[in-house]
Structure 1
């Protein structure tokens, strides 16, 4: 029997119902707050900054902490409440919060892969990518990145243009075949499709579902009181585990959808929380 996971499109969200229910707002990054590897645009940065003054805000991304900083936190306005932010990069395998005394992001936990597992995964990714004909000759940056707690394969390289990424595997067939092949080599690990050209590998059970459950525990709320916004909510997408975990899952088609959603939420707070 298939599981029932409720996901609402951003333009169909009942804002009053959402705001009455949620106590935390969590976001995917690439394709949700910003385009792949690019900083947030100024209107998004302003809206996200405003949200941090209203409720806790989490960023749960497949990217590294350095990317979360360059794409999100470095773009926030001066009056953003960073102490109200929770950064969970590499698909929630690491967690950072703001140390007001030092004015720095501090790491609270990490779940690193063993050296043996990392070496096995890297070899498996190259082997199967070559066999499947997706070890591309033209790339922008490294294809495989060892992030400690996560190994990420990016078919076109980490710095590939957004347009090239979006055209490479629109139906996810290539990524899914690679993920399935690697999963057979490392059944004790979690192998999943990531962004538009990527496959992510981490310790089993440490994904965006784990991240939202940890977030709920740390903030003393129910998972159902977390609104999670992401662009990859299909069952093969890396945002789906957060939806499956029981968040108020909201699907966007891109950063513009997210911006409109955030502006509607900010407007509701302005009218009802005086």
Structure 2
């Protein structure tokens, strides 16, 4: 979080977060402390969350755990790496857009993804649920299955090395799509140019907030990570290690004048 020292938080009108390993452990709910900190941010201004997870994950991990009375009208939700956009309007969540794949695109992605996994030989001893999930606007590969416990997920590919091999193969076989690494064991595939940068630009257009007034916070701001596209937008970006690191950063933001 060294870069945080150089950012004037008082000039940021929108704080944008990744979800898994940033606000919460992979596919886990935000804890009570994080929920309170997010609610505090919503009292101060706009907050957005962009993640590879689909809408039900946001409901389970975030929305169900925010304190009663939180200013949801200040919150923007962008599932599947920004390929969908939800806003709270008139007492309900409304989907503004969804950049879905065609059937032909899905078939090509699924075939090449399965071939790449087989070629690398990275076959785990045990699976917890399906490895590949069709999220409409995103195909997600979860190496240990969609319902794997946190501990084996954290141990499987902590340095992203296994997934980078799969990613490298996919960039050759399906170069017309975006292939990003995220979470603890995931690979996210979306339409070209539709990633977290796309989501940030959508936030700019929908909320009418200049990019310079935004701050993005994530745990995978490195080349090939699914937070990395945010660096192309011109928004200030801060890489965090885990949710505890994020909490420390939010406290600094809340201390701004």
Whether the TM-score (by the shorter chain) exceeds 0.5 is yes
Tell me by how many angstroms 1:12 deviates: 5.1
TM-score using structure 1 length? 0.90
Residue of structure 2 in register with 1:4 after alignment: none
RMSD of aligned Cα (Å): 1.4
Find out whether 1:90 has 2:67 as its counterpart: no
Matches of residues 214-253 of structure 1 in structure 2 within 5 Å?
A: 214-253=202-241
Q: Distance in 2 between matches of 1:224 and 1:173?
A: 33
Structure 1 runs not aligned, ≥5 long: 1-8
1:14 and 2:5 matched: yes
- 1:211 and 2:202 matched: no
Among candidates 232, 237, 247, match of residue 259 of structure 1 = 247
Partners of 2:3 and 2:238 within 8 A in 1: no
For residue 18 of structure 1, report the CA deviation from its aligned partner: 2.5
The answer as to 2:97 corresponding to 1:106 is no
| Structure 2 CA distance for aligned equivalents of residues 154 and 160 of structure 1 | 9
Matches of 1:152 and 1:34, distance apart in 2: 19
* Equivalent position of 1:183 in the other structure: 171
Compute the displacement of 1:235 (Å): 1.2
Correspondence for 1:201 among 176, 179, 189: 189
Secondary structure in 1 matching 2:151? helix
Verify the 8 A CA contact 1:126 1:135 in the aligned structure 2.
no
The CA distance in 1 between the partners of 2:108 and 2:125, in whole Å, is: 23
Q: How much does 1:184 deviate?
A: 2.1
Q: 1:201 aligns to what SS in structure 2?
A: strand
Q: 2:130 aligns with which of 142, 156, 160?
A: 142
CA shift digits 1:73-100 (9 cap, x unpaired): 1111112100011000000000000022
Q: Aligned pairs, how many?
A: 257
- Which of 19, 24, 29 matches 1:29? 19
SS in 2 for 1:80: coil
Q: Structure 1 segments of 4 or more deviating over 3 A?
A: none
Matched, 1:52 2:42: yes
Report the counterpart of residue 162 of structure 2 in structure 1.
Answer: 174
- For 1:29 and 1:226, how far apart are their aligned partners in 2? 17
Cα displacement (A) at 1:68 = 0.9
**1:116 is the counterpart of 2:101:** no
Paired residues for 1:148-159 under 5 Å? 148-159=136-147
TM, length-normalised to structure 2: 0.96
Q: Deviation per CA, 1:129-165: give whole Å up to 9, x if none.
A: 1111113241111100000000000111111122211
1:191 to 1:12, Cα distance in 2 relative to 1, 3 A: closer
